[in-house]
Amino acid sequence: MSEISRTKEPRTAPPEARRKQLIEATITAISKHGIAGTTLTKVTQEAGLSLGLANFHFDSKDALLTATLQHLADEHRALWIDKSRQPDLSAAAKLQAIVNAQFHPKVCNRRKLSVWFAFFGDTPHRSAYLRTSGELDRERQRVTADLCARIIGERGYTIVSPNQVSHMLEGLFDGLWLNILMYPDLFDRNTARDQVNAYLAQCLKEDFL
C-alpha cells in the first residue's frame, strides 16, 4: 500500500502481506498476459520478489489463482452485502446498491474485469469459479429477485415478473462488463450503470435516476 521508506524496503514481511502482494501481482499478470501467459516467474517479477516465494506462500500455482479469484469475489460482495441487510433501507435503495457495486470503480475496471473473464473463459478454471463463487452469483440473483418482488408488490404493478428482471439484470451486468472490457471507447461504467437504472425505472416504475 504505502511505501515505508524510499530506499529501504524490509527484506522480510509477514506471510499475510506477501500473500496479498502476490495476489495483486497475479491480477496484474493475468490482465496483461492472460491466465495461460501468467507464469510464476512473471508474477514474482511483477511483485518484485523471487520465484521461490510463490510456492512458499501458496501450495501451488492453482492455489494462487484460486486465492486471487476469492479475493475478487470477496471484494465485490463486500460492496453491496452490508446495505442489502440494513432493515431501514428501502428495497429500491438496496437494488440501487447492487447496481452501484457492479459498476464501482474498485471492481469495474479493465484490470480486474480481465481477471473475471479469464476465469469465465477457461473451462478448467470456470469449474473452479463455480465452486468458489457460483453460490455468490445465485445469492445476488435471489436478492435482486426478492427486492424486485417487493417493489412490484408495493405498487401491484406487473409487466414483468421479478424473476425475469433478475435474469435480465444478471445478463446486463456480465454483458456490460464484457463490453466495457472489450470496447472501452463505446462502453464505460457510468453510462452502463445509468442504462441499467433506466431499465429498472422502465420495469419497476421507480425513480432510479
Partner DNA sequence: GAATTGATTGAATGACCATTCAATGAAGGC
Partner DNA sequence: GCCTTCATTGAATGGTCATTCAATCAATTC
Listed ranges 54-62, 68-76, 89-97, 167-175: which one lies at the site for its own copies (CB under 8 A): 167-175
Q: Please, which residues have CB within 8 angstroms of residue 24's CB and are 6 or more apart in sequence?
A: 47
Cell of 7: 530506499
Using CB atoms within 10 Å of the CB of residue 187, give its burial: 0 to 12 exposed, 13 to 18 middle, 19+ buried. Answer: middle
Angle subtended at Cα 67 by Cα 21 and Cα 79, rounded to the nearest 5 degrees: 85
String marking each residue 120-149 x if it binds its own copies according to CB under 8 A:
xxxxxxx--xx---x--xx--x--------
- Residue identified by cell 464505460 is 188
Asked if 168 and 130 count as a contact pair (C-beta separation under 8 A), the reply is: no
CA distance 67 to 44: 15
Q: Under rule CB under 8 A, which residues in 96-125 are in contact with its own copies?
A: 114, 117-125
- In the list its own copies, DNA, none, the entry touching 49 (Cβ below 5 to 8 angstroms by class) is DNA
Residue 18 vs 169, nearer CB to its own copies: 169
How many other CB atoms are there within 10 angstroms of residue 78's CB atom?
12
Least Cβ distance, residue 10 to its own copies (angstroms): 33
Give contact residues for DNA (rule: CB under 7 A): 10-15, 18, 37-41, 49-57, 60-62
Q: Please, which residues have CB within 8 angstroms of residue 96's CB and are 6 or more apart in sequence?
A: 197, 208
Q: Under rule CB under 8 A, which residues in 11-70 are in contact with its own copies?
A: 30-37
Q: Please, which residues have CB within 8 angstroms of residue 173's CB and are 6 or more apart in sequence?
A: 102, 196
* Residue choice 41, 86, 158, 195 for contact with its own copies (CB under 8 A): 195
Least Cβ distance, residue 205 to its own copies (angstroms): 12
Least Cβ distance, residue 134 to DNA (angstroms): 24
Chain residues binding its own copies by CB under 8 A are: 30-37, 114, 117-126, 129-130, 134, 137-138, 141, 159-160, 164, 167-168, 170-179, 181-183, 186-187, 191-192, 195, 198-199, 202-203
